[in-house]
Amino acid sequence: MMEDGLETQTEPFPEDHVQFEAVLKELRDLPKDDLEGKLVVSGFVDHPYGEDDQRCLECMYYLVHRKWCDLPELAVPVEPEWWCRLWRI
Amino acid sequence: MANLLWLQGGACSGNTMSFLNAEEPSACDLVTDFGINVLWHPSLGMELGDNLQQMLRDCISGKIKLDIFVFEGSVVQAPDGSGEWNRFAGRAMKDWVQELSDVSDFVVAIGDCATWGGIPATAPNPSESVGLQFLKRDHGGFLGRDFKSKAGLPVINIPGCPAHPDWVTQILVGVATGHAGDVTLDEFQRPKTFFQSFTQTGCTRNMHFAYKVSATEFGQRKGCLFYDLGCRGPMTHSPCNRILWNRQSSKTRAGMPCMGCTEPEFPFFDLAPGTVFKTQTVMGVPKDLPEGVDKKGYIKLTGAAKTAAPQWAEEDMFVV
């Protein structure tokens, strides 16, 4: 899906934990198996993002060995060079 | 023999309950082994009514020598600075506090309310509560910045909500047995022996902190509580993971985030909704970083830690 150019919602980046929670709430309202919906709402892109080249590799929720996002609301396979707007360090 | 008097202002009695559970040494040991004479204590004192008032007046007049004055709870100054909202033994408690502090060799503040004002002093602070020598981080408090007890020391602050029982009894023994000179204090007048290290020191989750693996729920056995659940262990000075609670556990060992209760700002963010048990972030980076670590260093550290993380760090290694 990512390679096929899936358009995702990368903005706005949640500036604080309140805005972060708002995105999480949107994710919770999705059906658990709605992979496309999760990718869109969380704003995934398949490359580093922003001034600091943020990427999944440095994100708190990235599990290196499983290549997996451990954020309970997401729980999707991810690559280290990806990024999403729930990035948190 | 050292005479000790313990009074309680704006408080929940939590520190008294903690003190009575002390083990190393116990409250009884203070009397039997270390020569402390408890003149009066809210839960142990025998004197009542006129007899208690007379005893307090005798302390102030010098008829009874007061070696150690222990205060638990905030100094309540409402309404309008009169202190009438917290009366004790026929007058405002704050007046007893002032006069007893002036005649005592040592003054010891126990718990957050007595040290920094604690929860009673949280905005909007209707009880006009202050700590004995601090209001939150501001030096001054009820007795004033320059206060020194007769032995020449400022108020000895033993914070915590509550203070660990053994922190209390060990300091009381130190003072009562002539070792007050060994009790060095930090900038917030906390004994360094307890408050120079961090809650994180000795935390069993340190490996998860190092490899940036987060716990996302209370009680989860895997993961560090700092990244998501608002744990203040890396920023809080306390020995909670060195001197364990009930000799066997601590908040973080049980899967509960440290709330930073030995720091002057406690309760943080004035308990605004959504601020407790939530790590505050700014653009994805924790607002409060471990003490001594800057943002740039933190980001570099995270990249290196993630790259180096072993597989076991991602697994639940505990087997029931």
ipTM attached to this prediction: 0.80
List for chain B the helix, strand, coil content (%; round to 5). 30, 15, 55
Which of chain B's residues have a Cβ under 8 Å away from the Cβ of A14?
A: 284
Which of chain A's residues have a Cβ under 8 Å away from the Cβ of B285?
A: 88-89
Nearest CA in chain B to A63: B314
Which is nearest to B185 in space by CA: B158, B218, B203?
B158
Crossing angle between the packed helical segments B93-103 and B49-61, to the nearest 10 degrees = 40
Which of chain A's residues have a Cβ under 8 Å away from the Cβ of B309?
A: 64-65
Instruction: Round to whole Å and give the CA distance between B220 and B256.
Output: 9
Which of A17, A18, A27 to mutate to test binding with chain B, by most B CBs within 10 Å of its CB? A17
B147-196 pLDDT tens trace: 999 999 999 999 999 999 999 999 999 999 999 999 999 999 999 999 99
Average per-residue pLDDT for chain B = 94
Q: Closest Cα of chain B to A30: distance in Å?
A: 20
Give the pLDDT band of residue B320 (cuts 50, 70, 90). Answer: low
Helix (H), strand (E) at residue B106 = strand B106-110
Which is higher by pLDDT, B219 or B109? B109
Q: Is B66:B103 a contact under the CB 8 Å cutoff?
A: yes
Nearest to B284 among A65, A70, A87 (CB): A87
List for chain A the helix, strand, coil content (%; round to 5). 25, 10, 65
Which of B281, B294, B316 to mutate to test binding with chain A, by most A CBs within 10 Å of its CB? B281
CB burial of residue B144 (10 Å; 0-12, 13-18, 19+): exposed
